[in-house]
Amino acid sequence: MKIIALFLCLFALKTQAAWDLNDVSYLMPLPQTMQDTGLLKISAKGRGGDLIPGILIDQIPFLSPNINKESAKQVLRVFGVRIDPCFPLPTPQSCQRQLRIVWQPIEKDFDGNIRAVDAALHSFYILTDKEFNALLTDIAVWKKNYSVQTEYLPLQVHPAWQDLGTQSPPLAAFHQIVLKYAGKENLSRVTAMLLRRGGLMWTFAGYEVVGDDLQVLEIPRLEGKKSQTFINLAYPPDKFSNGGINPLPQGSDVINTLVLGSDLLEERHEETIRNESRAAYRMENPKAFNPENMDCASCHVAQPAIHWVLNQRPNLKVDQIWNADIYKNLRYNLENKSPGVANTRIIRAFGYFDADMAISQRVINESAEVADSLNQLN
């Protein structure tokens, strides 16, 4: 009887979710050629103008050694779209309704195949309550028109265009929704992840959009610093070596020692490993931290840090002793289907690493929280 009751409980939880993970976070397909026009570029005409005006791209450091500012305008593509009814603000004014876009450059690999460059921009578009409600209505109509099924699916390349890729009619229709609600007129912020040192160093920065100018934002927990780097020279990428985070974040929840040089950690460091594992689980938990109180590098590196501990120090059983800190939500499938979750050089939040899907557990968990918020509105 207890098993039947549990099954009925889980079934009820699953069936009540009208909004699911793939309804609030949309991962696009990888194009097949550089000339493929199936994904949006920064010059796509949205609300009030380009999705990201070129004059703003000119003010951001080059994305990678092989991509200068002019070429970035040509090779950046929309790889992710996320909606959020309550993006946290660093003020007492609670939150902000947003549509957000994730961008990555594309290039050819040595075999001529298309891959995503491990750099990114993230653009933020503010919506009023009325506009956000209209966006939700448009998405619901789109979903019905194309018979899109998302219930209890893990976050992935969106099922509406998974088979037909960039030439999928549902993708073209979805792009029209994006262009209706996002553009120069309501662009408020751009954040950047820049690739350096042959793919062994990443630099993070954020910018507030003020007219045609970008103002650099302070990064949380860095005592006023406005950029942050992460370096990992490990080969193969199954550990952390000769790098780490700089500047180091301040506070009790840090993973500074783990990601500096995990290959140097010994039995005498077990307490540090346990404590930093708890911090990493909390970084993945949107109920514990949000983008306004967590530094960039720690948030991005938390997932491979956890997997290193689970794989290399299984005797510590950190997933058991810190179980209460791990985000849980039975209404959604929180399984991470990304192939490289343990790769210590895959620190992408939502997009692609080369040609493989790369989604962080943090984004999956955030998507569950957003879906919960939207389902409560119904």
Q: How far apart are CA 43 and CA 188, in angstroms?
A: 17
Q: How far apart are CA 185 and CA 50, in angstroms?
A: 9
pLDDT value at residue 17: 55
pLDDT value at residue 377: 86
CB 31 within 8 A of CB 107: no
Tokens of 45: 């005409």
CB 23 within 8 A of CB 156: no
Ranges of the chain with pLDDT below 50: 1-16
Q: Give residue-wise pLDDT tens across range 345-367.
A: 999 999 999 999 999 999 999 99
CB 329 within 8 A of CB 304: no
Integer-rounded Cα radius of gyration of the chain: 20
| Number of Cβ atoms within 10 Å of the Cβ of 72 | 23
Q: What share of the chain is helix, strand, coil (3-state, %, to 5)?
A: 35, 25, 40
Residue with tokens 């103008």: 49
Phi-psi region of 210 (alpha: psi -120 to 50; beta: other; left: phi over 0): beta
What DSSP line would sit under 192-204, residue for residue? EEEEEGGGTEEEE
Backbone angles phi, psi at 244, to 5 degrees: 105, -170
| All structural domains of the chain with their residue ranges | 18-217+366-378
Q: How far apart are CA 85 and CA 133, in angstroms?
A: 9
- CA-nearest of 121, 105, 131 to 186 is 131
pTM of the model: 0.94
pLDDT value at residue 128: 96
